[in-house]
Chain A
Amino acid sequence: MTAFTQLITDDRDALVEALREGQGKGSVLRDVDLSGCDLQGVDLSEARLSRANLRGANLEGANLRGAFLDSANLRNTNLSAACMEFAVLGAADLSDADCSKADLRRSNMVGIDAQRAVFRDAQLYYSRPGNGDFREADFTGADIQRAIFRRANLAGANLSNTTGTANLDRANLEGVTR
């Protein structure tokens, strides 16, 4: 990015249109409410979206590389095939989110709530899901090489057909399917 850009957020429709037109990269949108919006394929790389409400939004294929989504509401959000490499998702709520085929390499998932979230065929190489809540999450076919699940709760999660070796130090693996 060159410099952070504060987008005007009073008019939600205008904001969505601006994001679709490519003005989202490096933007500052903390606390914004974009719940339920169709943001398929938008470029929000390096954006500051801390505490944003994106519940139920469609971010399929979106570029969120390096974006800050800490403490964001991403419940039931469609993040399939989204690029979230280096994204900061710490303390966010991703419960029931669809992250299938998402690029989560080197992402920060420390302390996230990802209960029942779907990570099928996702890339989690060198990600940091420590202390996260992944109960009943689906990691089928995901690449978890070098992911650090230290103290994460994986009770009931599906880890079948995952590739790579993850750090599961002190993780709760009760009822995990491998």
Chain B
Amino acid sequence: MIFTHFLTASNESNAFLVACETTRKALLVDAGAFEPAIAEFVDEHGLTLETVFITHGHYDHTDGLDGLVARYRPRIVARQTPCAGHTADVVGHGDTVSVGNLKGTVLATPGHTPDMVCLHFDGMVFTGDALFAGSVGGTSGATAEQQQLDAIRKHIFTLPLETEIHTGHGPSSTVSIEKQFNPFFVE
């Protein structure tokens, strides 16, 4: 697997690129901004950016779509369509998203937004604004907050402990760290 991280200027959101070493096909997780570093990485490594996966529809995760679509014409995968004005392939919990020989699984974790979805590949999961290092996404009320906590416990905390967690903002983490120490889950 080829993997890298980009810090975008859009509310300091993260974007991540996952690519198949064999096919050189790449998938970008979230698109807060179309940073020059993204194009440089794609060009430098001879990749084809064929898919952009959107964890949820907030501007700081989608504002880069216009530039990415203009340059690469990627397939956009999201929980809802249209996504920031672009037609998206709609996915739900348990669906598979492939990039070359790599297969990811969609995990629904509504709460921060109703359309919030995570993407799990072997060894790493992209959690958008559902789960952060030592924190969780903001919600509109107690019901949504509980829904989010329940979904994280059910779908993220049941992954292998060494699974890397790559979040929508701030640093990455692991399932082990968050299960043991995230203040929103442990007293």
Contact = CB atoms under 8 A, between A and B. Distances in A.
B177 interface: yes
B3 interface: yes
A70 B183 contact: no
Given A1-B3, A150-B135, A130 B171 contact: no
Interface of A, secondary structure class, is: loop
Interface string B154-173: 00000000101000001111
A108 B1 contact: no
Q: Of residues B12, B132, B173, B180, which shows the largest number of chain A Cβ atoms within 10 Å of its Cβ?
A: B173
Contact of B45 (A2, A68, A91, A127): A2
B2 A3 contact: yes
B5 A108 contact: no
Contacts of B174: 50, 68, 70, 88, 90
Interface in B17-33: 21
Contacts of A90: 133-134, 173-174, 177, 181
Nearest to A107: B171
Contact of B176 (A4, A70, A130): A70
A150 B132 CA distance: 13
Contacts of A107: 171
Given A126-B12, A126-B170, A86 B134 contact: no
A1 B4 contact: yes
B186 interface: yes
Interface string A140-160: 000000001011000000000
Contacts of B172: 66, 68, 86, 88, 108
B180 A87 contact: no
Contacts, number: 93
Contacts of B171: 86-88, 106-108, 127-128
A95 B51 CA distance: 44
A48 B163 CA distance: 12
Given A3-B2, A3-B21, A128 B181 contact: no
Interface in A103-151: 106-108, 110-111, 126-131, 148, 150-151
A110 B177 CA distance: 7
B182 interface: yes
Given A86-B171, A87-B171, A90-B173, A131 B181 contact: yes
Contact of B181 (A2, A66, A130): A130
Given A3-B2, A126-B170, A128-B171, A91 B180 contact: yes
B60 interface: no
B181 A4 contact: no
Given A88-B174, A150-B135, 12 more contacts: A3-B3, A4-B3, A86-B172, A91-B176, A108-B134, A108-B170, A110-B181, A128-B133, A129-B134, A130-B181, A148-B134, A148-B135
